[in-house]
Amino acid sequence: MAFFAVGYAFAYGGTPQDTLDVYTHEPVDAPITFIGSENFFLIDVNNYGFWLYQYAFAATSTTIVAGTLAERCQMTAYLLYSTFLTSFVYPIIAHNIWSINGFLTAVRVNPLFGVGMIDFAGSGVVHVTGGFTALIASKILGPRKGRFDEEKGVGMARRIEGNSR
């Protein structure tokens, strides 16, 4: 819901619909913006296939974090960071790399350092977003204490009993 409401607008809001596939066009001289500012709630968006494609990328960046934090955070925390990630963090990174208005895009007339950033199939944006978020969250949460039995060796998992309410 967060990507539908504001995330897509922050990533691609104001980008002409015919330039969304940036790697198939000639270099452009578009103004550089930090974040998109139009198309909230997909108003005036007519390329729903592209939106769905980007939605899958945004969701994938959160699953990277979820896999890293498995069994270490509560569902409420998962929902909160997923909302923040898909509504704000991922869209800003995607905007600056994939949008013609981003400062890192390779399709500008004068790209950053002469080349910009070419992201093959979205793997850079998705994995940088998910990976760095997972790294920060892991550092905040720390190790899973009590998960392994120190007496039997590091590789021996300890049985975790359920709550008997």
pLDDT of residue 154: 62
- Distance, in Å, from the CA atom of 125 to the CA atom of 150, rounded to the nearest integer, reads 38
Rg (CA), the chain: 20
pTM of the full predicted structure?
0.82
What is the residue range of 50's domain?
2-141
Counting the structural domains of the chain, the total is 1
Mean pLDDT over residues 23-30, rounded? 72
- 46: in domain: yes
Highest mean pLDDT: which range of 30-34, 52-56, 115-119, 157-161: 52-56
- 18: in domain: yes
Cβ atoms of 44 and 14 closer than 8 Å: no
- 161: in domain: no
- Distance, in Å, from the CA atom of 18 to the CA atom of 153, rounded to the nearest integer, reads 59
- 121: in domain: yes
What is the pLDDT confidence band of residue 105, given thresholds at 50, 70 and 90?
Answer: confident
- Distance, in Å, from the CA atom of 47 to the CA atom of 18, rounded to the nearest integer, reads 9
Instruction: Give, in order, the Cα–Cα distances in Å from 112 to each of 45, 116, 117.
Output: 29, 5, 8
